[in-house]
Chain A
Amino acid sequence: AQSVAQPEDQVNVAEGNPLTVKCTYSVSGNPYLFWYVQYPNRGLQFLLKYITGDNLVKGSYGFEAEFNKSQTSFHLKKPSALVSDSALYFCAVRASNQAGTALIFGKGTTLSVSS
């Protein structure tokens, strides 16, 4: 069965500091991995995805994520956090051979960036 784990309910960082939001996954076969961000009372916004190729994926708003196959991880990172980055972040996965099926989401991690 496919699953995603986001071990931290909340991550707190100071503005200007680097941030990391953790994600590990379990899937049969090769994974397609995604990060989404959700602001209050809004839908999810796509940030970035890993399909194949370079393990370091760059996405929107300066975010990036590193795919690590041996650790089955896909942590979201940003070198310098902004207060406006404060939101709920979701990691999601699907097996590459299951096109058209819904993504499996982690429980979400609330990022709080203080000024």
Chain B
Amino acid sequence: GAVVSQHPSWVICKSGTSVKIECRSLDFQATTMFWYRQFPKQSLMLMATSNEGSKATYEQGVEKDKFLINHASLTLSTLTVTSAHPEDSSFYICSVVAGAANTQYFGPGTRLTVL
């Protein structure tokens, strides 16, 4: 399967600042990446679909001006949480689609804590 990395693995920031999370596909060129967020002991909530070279598609209820997604290359997508607030604290996970049946392979996640 595809190998996916995320950076940073965890970040703590002050309220009002912006945080950028990187998702890299290390061995696969990914035209599509997905961004999810996960609250403790809960399922994954799809935030947006990131398409290389075009605008991301956001799920209903996700503020596109707050969660900026850039998919500038086939191996990198970034999620920027702008003007972060404590309620944005969560576990953010990206995934790429590869292989048979478009299997999704996930990054290790980024734990964001906003103080």
Interface residues in chain A, defined as those with a beta carbon under 8 Å from any beta carbon in chain B: 32, 34, 36, 41-46, 49, 51, 88, 90, 92, 94, 96, 99-103, 105-108, 110
Say if the beta carbon of B106 comes within 8 Å of chain A: yes
Contact of A51 among B6, B32, B100 (CB under 8 A): B100
Residues of A within 8 A of B42 (CB): 107-108
Please give 15 more A-B residue pairs, beta carbons under 8 A apart, in addition to A90-B44, A108-B43: A41-B91, A43-B93, A43-B106, A43-B109, A44-B95, A45-B106, A46-B1, A46-B105, A46-B106, A94-B101, A102-B34, A103-B104, A107-B42, A107-B43, A108-B42
B7 on the interface (CB 8 Å rule)?
A: no
Q: B46: CB under 8 A from chain A?
A: yes
Residues of the A chain whose Cβ atoms lie less than 8 Å from the Cβ of B64: none
B103→A105 contact, CB < 8 A:
no
How far, in whole Å, are A34 and B42 apart by their CA atoms in the complex?
Answer: 18
Q: Tell yes or no: B108 within 8 A of A by CB.
A: yes
A4 nearest in chain B by CB position:
B43
Chain B interface residue count, CB cutoff 8 Å, equals 26
CA distance A99 to B100 in the complex (A): 10
Interface of B is mostly: strand
Summed over the interface, the residue pairs from A and B with CB atoms below 8 Å come to a total of 58
With a CB–CB cut-off of 8 A, which chain A residues contact B91?
A: 41
Residues of B within 8 A of A (CB): 1, 4, 6, 32, 34, 41-44, 46, 49, 91, 93, 95, 97, 100-109, 111
A63 shortest CB reach to chain B, Å = 15
**Contact call B108/A105, Cβ cutoff below 8 A:** no
- Beyond A44-B93, A49-B101, A100-B97, is A105–B43 a contact (Cβ under 8 Å)? yes
Assess the B101–A102 pair: CB atoms within 8 A: no
